[in-house]
Structure formats: C-alpha cells, structure tokens
Structure 1
C-alpha cells in the first residue's frame, strides 16, 4: 500500500454523491410533471411521490454530512489555484445548504396545507401549523430556490467538465467510481 494520500473520494462518499444526483433528477422530473398545487390540491399521485423523494433527499443529506464530518474529504491536489479552490468550497457549501433548505421549505409548505409528510412510510412532524401564512409563503420560496439549486447544479457540472476538458487536472476522476475503486488508499 502506498503512503501517499489518495485524492479520490471514498466509495461511500461517491455513492452519496451519485445517489443525490439521481434523486435530484427524479425530483425535478416529478416536479415538472406533477399537477400544479392549488388551495384544494390533495397530496396524491406524483405530488405524494415528490414529497417522499424530498424527504429521502433530506435523510440522504443528513447521512452524507455525518459521513463527511467523520471521514472528511480527501486532500485537494496542489495543482488547483487558490481562487478556484475557494470558489469550489463556496459552491459546494451552497449546494449542501440548498439541498437541505429546499426540501425543508417544501415540507413546511406541505405542513401548512395540512398534508401528512412521511419518510419511508414513517409520519414526520409538521414544520408549520395548518393554514400558516409563513408555511404557504415557503412554497413560493421552495419553487424559487429549486430553480437556484438547478442552476447551481448546472454550474457544478460545467465546472467538472471544465476541469476535465480544459484544465485536464483530474478533478472529475475524484468522484468517478471506476477510478476510485482502483485507488489503493481511500479515506
């Protein structure tokens, strides 16, 4: 086993990353295909699925943050300029914040509509009281910040492609399973 550090994320961190990406893709497809939510809308069908996937995203992000807190991230290669490293850290922090905040705003909005919210079949407590004007307003914020999150994900993908094809610095390989599974040392 080599003593040099691995710059590749460990297998669980990579799994959390790609599962989050898959759940977000599913969530946006559900959001774009479900019926519009109005005063008398019931949380059935695609709306119920949207609520459920949102709750799984919250759970996944909590587990992911705990994992990251315990295991940390691999060291960053020294080839990344300081300004890009700072921008990457800021963007990642904002991604994590929105990945938690957007579903929580949706949960609070659902609670204000007196909808039951469950996580894998387990009822969750309401985040706002039924009829709450703040809970209703958070529905608009949920929608607006979902667009911000989508734009940020697009920026994240564009940055990965920039690193791969313009800088050629191997940053993208840090999160790719095939490369990481061959790495001798993992976090």
Structure 2
C-alpha cells in the first residue's frame, strides 16, 4: 500500500514511539531482575538503573507530548470504524497518562526512602515526597500494581497494531515503521 507523506508519522514521531517502547521493555526487564526492595535496601545496581530509566521515560514522554502538540498526527484511514477510532484514542491517551504517572509514583517512593533520584545519573532531581512519607511508600505499591495495567494496555496497543496489519490490512502499522520498510512494501 502506498501512502501520501501526510498520512505517515514523521521521523521524530517514529523515533519517540520506538524509543519509548525500547525503554519500557528495558524498564520491565530491570524491574523483574532487580532485587526486592525492603526497608534497608540501597539504590544501587539494577535499582539505580531502574530509577534512572524511569526518569528518562518521563523526560522522553514529556518531549514527545510537546512535539505532538506542535505536530499533528497523520489522519487515520477513512475506513476506520468510529468505535475503533475511539478505542485507539482512549488507549493512546491512557498510555501517555500511565507513562508519566508510573515513573512519578516510583520517584515519590524513592524520595520517601531517602534515595537520591537523578536524570542521566548526574542531574539531581528534587524529592517528590519527604523521607519517611507514608504516602510515598504507598505510591510504591501503586507503582508496582499500576505497572501491570500498563503491561496490559501495551498488549492491547500491540494487538490493535497486529489487528490492523493482518485483519483490516489498512496499513496503519506501516505508518509507524521506518521509511525503508514502507518503500519496500509499496514496491511489491
């Protein structure tokens, strides 16, 4: 299927999308492999990496939202039913909310433990909750539980992309793939 340039996501939008997906995958690998966090746990090793990647995710999503506010998404296929259009809009919106809320909860939890939080490992970030805060500790539990919601929602997002690709065959997935893939597909 050949697309007009206006119907394909631009290179920065594709980069933000795939970089977010890659960082999210890395974050879950870190979360599953890092040691359990207890009262006397220190923020070293995989825990420090988990905190750092979380900060990068917040920054990336905020930059992505700024970019998106100045660059509209390409139009959806005209054949997309209104119910699927609404589902896609709600799913994307909730993904953005969770991609910011979950790291913020983790940051507040780290602050309540008295852990330093940095961006890129050297830019100190202010605490989001005071050391010993019961709210900050509770947000740590929410952080873990809501992360499962994000996994499920990412699964819905992936399933939707595959549904578009293999059932509807409307080329929606191709709009987010690198340009050379779309060009190769259009020559077939």
Partner of 2:42: 42
Provide TM-score, normalisation by structure 2: 0.92
Structure 2 unaligned blocks of 5 or more: 184-188
Q: Give the Cα–Cα distance (whole angstroms) in 2 for the partners of residues 110 and 49 of structure 1.
A: 13
Higher RCO structure (Cα 8 Å, ≥6 apart): 1
Mapping of residues 76-155 of structure 1, within 5 Å: 76-120=76-120, 121-155=122-156
Deviations 1:84-114 (A, max 9, x none): 0001000000000000000000000000000
Q: Paired residue for 2:179?
A: 178
Query: Following superposition, which runs of at least 4 residues in structure 1 exceed 6 angstroms of deviation?
Result: none
Could you tell me the TM-score, scaled by structure 1's length? 0.93
- CA root-mean-square deviation: 1.2
- The whole-number CA distance in structure 2 between the counterparts of 1:68 and 1:89 is 14
Partners of 2:174 and 2:182 within 8 A in 1: no
Q: What is the rounded CA distance, in whole Å, between the counterparts of 2:83 and 2:69 in structure 1? A: 24
- Answer with 173-182 or 28-37: which moved more: 173-182
SS of the residue 2:73 aligns to: coil
Measure, in 1, the Cα distance between the counterparts of 2:142 and 2:168: 36
After superposition, give the CA deviation of every residue in 1:71-96 in whole Å (9 maximum; x if it has no partner).
11111121111110001000000000
Moved more, 39-48 or 70-79: 70-79
Give the paired residue count: 179
CA distance in 2, matches of 1:142, 1:153: 16
Q: What does residue 55 of structure 2 align with? A: 55
